[in-house]
Amino acid sequence: MSAVKLYTANTPNGRKVGIAAKELGIDYEFNLVDFKTKQQKEAWFVDKVNPNGKIPAIVDPAGPNGKEVRVFESGAILQYLAEKTGKLLPSESKYEAIAWVYLVNTGLAPNLGTTVGGGGAECTKLCDSSS
């Protein structure tokens, strides 16, 4: 099975997916997106990874029915990975768990990201699947 390709950067939303992938035991390839060169706005990224030109995003070559799928926006990626692995979304409380993911993504994380900065090394250490 091919590894999920994770495209991310050192942002609060960018870190979430790498952490979740490690916790879920997902085999993934880490791709640090360079904001300084606006890599996320390049044609290949917009065409193949995220039409919105933002991170995080994943490309799963072994998606539903064995077909490649791209997923973007951190909440959608977290839900996709949980459903793919069958972990973190218990059937009796699946929708409550999803509601908490969306609360964090839309209510808490944006404010936290504004007040808590970070250097460039943390994402590489946290998200790189080889570390």
pLDDT one digit per residue (tens) for the chain, 131 residues = 689 999 999 888 888 899 999 999 999 999 999 999 999 999 999 999 999 999 999 999 999 999 999 999 999 999 999 999 999 888 899 999 889 888 877 776 555 555 555 444 445 555 555 55
User: Whole-angstrom Cα distance, residue 72 to residue 13?
Assistant: 11
CATH number at residue 98: 3.40.30.10
Domain-located, residue 83 = yes
**Strand-pair partners of 29:** 5
How many separate domains does the chain show?
1
Q: Tell me if 126 is assigned to some domain.
A: no
Structural domain containing residue 111: 4-116
- Does the residue 122 lie in any domain? no
Q: What's the confidence (pLDDT) of residue 119?
A: 45
**Given this model, what pLDDT does residue 90 score?**
87
Task: Give CA–CA dist 28/19, Å, rounded.
Answer: 11
Cα–Cα distance, 112 to 83 (Å, whole number): 26
Asked whether 57 and 72 are in contact (CB, 8 A), the reply is: yes
Kindly give the interhelix angle for 74-85 and 94-103, rounded to the nearest 10 degrees: 150
Classify residue 15 as left (phi > 0), alpha (psi -120 to 50) or beta.
alpha
* Amino acid sitting at position 19: I
The answer as to whether 127 is a domain residue is no
Residue 131 belongs to a domain: no
Residue with tokens 């917009």: 46
Specify the 3-state DSSP secondary structure of 76. helix
pLDDT at 120: 46
Q: Which of 21, 3, 29, 12 is nearest to 87 (CA)?
A: 21
The pLDDT, as a whole number, for residue 113 is 53
